[in-house]
């Protein structure tokens, strides 16, 4: 057993960890023999001096093995998981999971809460009265066996070493270390039992990776380490310079996801969900071509099959059986509703996703710190998109706030985030690259 001091020294001195050292590190984190201050020192050394592909692969596998692994062997194949690096208005999981189930995929997912401008899937689902986000591993498997779909928050029994490192990374300013990001994402996917994983790497002002070079680097690392770890991966790099869809805020995003499941396949949320699920169908061999897979996804939505799966899923996890049909009256929404009008004419050149995401955080719809409570009902709807022609006094957004004062301030900040030019502007493609 290598001591904590020896593990820290190895990375401090720019040496490469052996497999045994990585396994000792992970064991020490879980059994408590490596203290938080020692783990923090190792994190900083890893941040400054890096981890190579072999070290990152071993760390990924060791963290996946640090607790329980879901055994999906009794469930229908294919087994697929989906992950996004997070962005403003990203509610795709709420569409993609029932769409996967409607297309014959078994989808078991562990999701997180939001921090900062990137919202969390768990927060969105917790805006639904009664919805449970604390399923045990056995409950996950049983529900997936019955309905083809199950989701929970991060379980203390799955990849517990990742949970420890994840918390320390925020406290030690080592969050943006690519090998640590990759091992955190993929260890949870492996522990969750998936064989095929579709990954959405966001790129833009409303994402963790602001520029395309950084997004490409993260995607390349995910592809390399995931393949080394035995996963079948498909990776998209997608646009996050403007919000995804129209809704930003937990209840509002649930409503938008349901509108897609009711048939809005041409919206940006619908198009991205279809692309991700189609890649999963093609990658798992369920469909022979991407074109056939996309057609199957469109049919699953238009026929009502995906909405039926959403109803089964939400009801199984505690929602009122009538929720899907009565969501507008059952979700909490901010009591002060303010329409926002833009006093310019021309073409929308930019809708600053980062600024709009921060606005929703400041309204109370997101967290500045992990322990913050959130208001599920506040948020904004943006009614224009980059490239749209804008007319003077156009209704460009709607704010949902707690007070009149907050609504007034939010309206001004929405206008400040929208940039209108005299000449037409073409939006960046929703899907920038596919790996």
The CATH number for 352's domain is 3.90.1170.30
Please give the full DSSP string across 251-279, using - where no structure is assigned: HHHHHHHHHHHTT-TTSHHHHHHHHHHHH
- Residues 198, 236 contacting (CB under 8 angstroms): yes
Quick check: 433 pLDDT over 90?
yes
The residue range of the domain holding 10 is: 4-50
Catalytic residues: 83, 162, 169, 184, 188
pLDDT given at position 176: 87
C-alpha–C-alpha distance, residues 399 and 334, integer Å: 9
d(CA 329, CA 317): 19
Mean pLDDT for the chain?
Answer: 96
Name residues whose C-beta falls within 8 Å of residue 341's C-beta, 6 or more positions apart in sequence: 393, 394, 395, 396
> Is residue 360 located within the same domain as residue 321?
no
**Does residue 394 surpass a pLDDT of 80?**
yes
Q: How far apart are CA 31 and CA 26, in angstroms?
A: 9
- CA dist., res. 361 & res. 369, Å (int): 11
- In angstroms, the CA 59 to CA 165 distance is 11
Our count of domains for the chain comes to 3
pTM attached to this predicted model: 0.94
Domain end call among 327, 354, 386 = 327
Asked which of 267, 294, 327 is the last residue of a domain, the reply is: 327
CA distance 333 to 149: 27
* Residue 406 CA: distances (Å) to CA of 83, 250, 251: 33, 18, 18
- Beta pairing class for 418-421 and 394-401: unpaired
Residues of the chain with pLDDT > 70: what percent? Answer: 100
Alpha-carbon distance of 208 to 206, in angstroms, equals 7
Tell me, yes or no, whether 271 and 145 share the same domain.
yes
Helix 4-12 to helix 19-31 angle (10° resolution) is 130
Domain containing residue 214: CATH number:
3.40.1030.10
Q: For residue 398, is pLDDT > 80?
A: yes
Tell me what the mean pLDDT of segment 372-384 comes to.
96
Q: What is the pLDDT of residue 335?
A: 98
Contact 218, 84 (CB under 8 A): no
My answer on whether 268 and 281 are in the same domain is yes
For residues 339 and 265, state if they share a domain. Answer: no
The beta strands (E) that lie in 118-259 are given as 149-153, 196-203, 232-239, 247-248
Per-residue pLDDT, 114: 83
Q: Treating both helix axes as pointing N-terminal to C-terminal, what angle do 268-283 and 290-302 enclose, rounded to 10 degrees?
A: 130
What number is the average pLDDT over the span 331-343? 97
């Amino acid at each position: 057993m290598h001591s904590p001091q020896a593990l820290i020294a190895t990375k401090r001195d720019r040496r490469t960890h052996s497999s045994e050292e990585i396994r000792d590190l992970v064991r020490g984190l879980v059994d408590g023999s490596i203290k938080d201050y020692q783990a923090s020192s190792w994190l900083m050394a890893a941040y400054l001096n890096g981890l190579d592909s072999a070290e990152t692969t071993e760390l990924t596998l060791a963290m996946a093995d640090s607790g329980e692994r879901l055994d999906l062997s009794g469930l229908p194949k294919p087994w697929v998981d989906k992950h996004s690096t997070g962005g403003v208005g990203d509610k795709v999981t709420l569409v993609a999971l029932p769409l996967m189930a409607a297309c014959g995929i078994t989808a078991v997912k562990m999701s997180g809460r939001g921090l900062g401008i990137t919202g969390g899937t768990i927060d969105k689902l917790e805006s639904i009265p009664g919805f449970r986000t604390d399923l045990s591993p056995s409950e996950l498997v049983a529900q997936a066996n019955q309905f083809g779909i199950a989701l929970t928050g991060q379980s203390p029994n799955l990849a517990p070493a990742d949970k420890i490192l994840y918390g320390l990374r925020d406290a030690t300013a080592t969050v943006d270390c690519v090998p640590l990001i990759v091992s955190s994402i993929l260890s949870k996917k492996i522990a969750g039992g998936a064989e095929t994983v579709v990954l959405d790497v966001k790129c833009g002002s409303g994402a963790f990776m602001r520029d395309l070079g950084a997004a490409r680097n993260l995607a390349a690392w995910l592809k390399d380490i995931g393949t080394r770890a035995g996963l079948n991966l498909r990776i998209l790099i997608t646009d996050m310079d403007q919000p995804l869809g129209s809704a930003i805020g937990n209840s509002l995003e649930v409503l938008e996801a349901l509108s897609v499941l009711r048939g809005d396949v041409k919206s940006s949320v619908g198009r991205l969900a279809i692309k991700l699920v189609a890649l999963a169908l093609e990658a798992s061999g369920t469909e022979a071509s991407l074109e056939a897979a996309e057609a199957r996804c469109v049919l699953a939505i238009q026929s009502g099959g995906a909405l039926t799966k959403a109803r089964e899923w939400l009801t199984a996890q505690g929602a009122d059986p009538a929720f899907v049909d009565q969501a507008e009256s059952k979700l909490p929404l901010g009591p002060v509703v303010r329409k926002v009008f833009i006093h310019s004419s021309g073409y929308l050149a930019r809708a600053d996703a980062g600024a709009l995401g921060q606005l929703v955080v400041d309204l109370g719809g997101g967290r500045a710190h992990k322990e913050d409570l959130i208001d599920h009902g506040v948020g904004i709807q943006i009614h224009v998109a980059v490239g749209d022609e804008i007319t003077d006094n156009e209704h460009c957004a709607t704010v949902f706030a707690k007070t009149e004062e907050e609504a007034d301030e939010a309206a001004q900040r929405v206008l400040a985030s929208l940039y209108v030019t005299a000449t037409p502007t073409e939006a960046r493609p929703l899907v920038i690259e596919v790996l």
